[in-house]
């Protein structure tokens, strides 16, 4: 998503959804009905478990710069929970030529957590390097999103802003064709 300077989304409701925001550039100002007021920036991850219902709003915190971010919605595995907000600043250097887990279903694990059997990982790989990803849960699949650069997964070449779904396997390899940054979203597959 992209928000022009000073623009945003006014107060609006959500329920029974896990909402994950990952800023890529610029700053987003968040405010919600749980009395949270925060600014999230590149390097942060934010999660809201909407549960029984929340209202929130987000705006570009800068009047002159465009804010770019990923906002990913995941169906929860537990309905009508008490709404919850969490935000974490990540060490971006921890993903250089390796995967950095930023989200899991476990509150004691690395990154933030959600009510779902899901794992998110960010990677920032130099050209020519590759990583083998092994799915954490049987029946899960993965979605790869290229934030910048180019990768190859199996025989499929992906460029900036391309996405690719993978299921029916236990593992796969991502090869960096250029210096690249990508996100792996592992979630249960429901058909």
What's the pLDDT tens digit per position in 49-98? 999 999 999 999 999 999 999 999 999 999 999 999 999 999 999 999 99
* Domain span including residue 125: 94-188
- Looking at the structure, tell me whether residues 136 and 52 fall in a common domain: no
Whether residue 31 has pLDDT greater than 70: yes
Distance CA 18, CA 188 (A): 14
- Looking at the structure, tell me whether residues 24 and 39 fall in a common domain: yes
User: Which two three-digit tokens encode residue 56?
Assistant: 């929130």
- Looking at the structure, tell me whether residues 183 and 105 fall in a common domain: yes
- Looking at the structure, tell me whether residues 57 and 107 fall in a common domain: no
- Residues 6 or more apart whose Cβ sits within 8 Å of residue 80: 16, 51, 52
What's the pLDDT tens digit per position in 112-145? 999 999 999 999 999 999 999 999 999 999 999 9
- Mean pLDDT for 16-41 is 95
Residue 190's pLDDT is what? Answer: 79
- Looking at the structure, tell me whether residues 72 and 126 fall in a common domain: no
Closest CA to 61 of 85, 84, 37: 37
CATH number at residue 10: 2.60.120.10
Q: What is the mean pLDDT of the chain?
A: 95
Give the chain's domain count: 2
Domain's final residue, options 89, 107, 134: 89
Closest CA to 113 of 18, 16, 183, 17: 18
Distance CA 72, CA 47 (A): 10
- Looking at the structure, tell me whether residues 100 and 47 fall in a common domain: no
Distance CA 62, CA 4 (A): 9
Domain's final residue, options 35, 65, 89: 89
Domain's final residue, options 40, 74, 89: 89
Residue 191's pLDDT is what? Answer: 58
What's the pLDDT tens digit per position in 150-167? 999 989 999 999 999 999
């Amino acid at each position: 998503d992209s928000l022009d300077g000073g623009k945003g989304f006014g107060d609006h409701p959500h329920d029974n959804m896990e909402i994950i925001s990952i800023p890529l550039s610029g700053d987003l100002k968040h405010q919600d009905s749980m009395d949270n007021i925060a600014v999230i920036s590149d390097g942060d991850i934010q999660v809201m478990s909407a549960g029984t219902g929340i209202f929130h709003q987000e705006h570009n915190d800068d009047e002159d710069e465009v804010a770019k971010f990923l906002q990913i919605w995941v169906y929860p595995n537990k309905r009508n929970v008490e709404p919850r907000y969490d935000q974490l600043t990540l060490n971006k250097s921890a993903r250089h030529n390796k995967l950095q887990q930023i989200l899991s279903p476990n509150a004691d694990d690395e990154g933030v957590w959600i009510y779902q059997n899901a794992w998110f990982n960010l990677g920032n790989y130099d050209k020519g390097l590759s990583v083998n990803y092994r799915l954490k849960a049987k029946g899960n699949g993965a979605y790869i999103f290229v934030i910048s650069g180019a990768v190859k997964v199996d025989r499929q070449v992906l460029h900036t802003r391309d996405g690719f779904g993978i299921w029916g396997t236990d593992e796969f390899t991502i090869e960096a064709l250029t210096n690249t940054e990508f996100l792996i979203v592992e979630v249960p597959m429901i058909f």
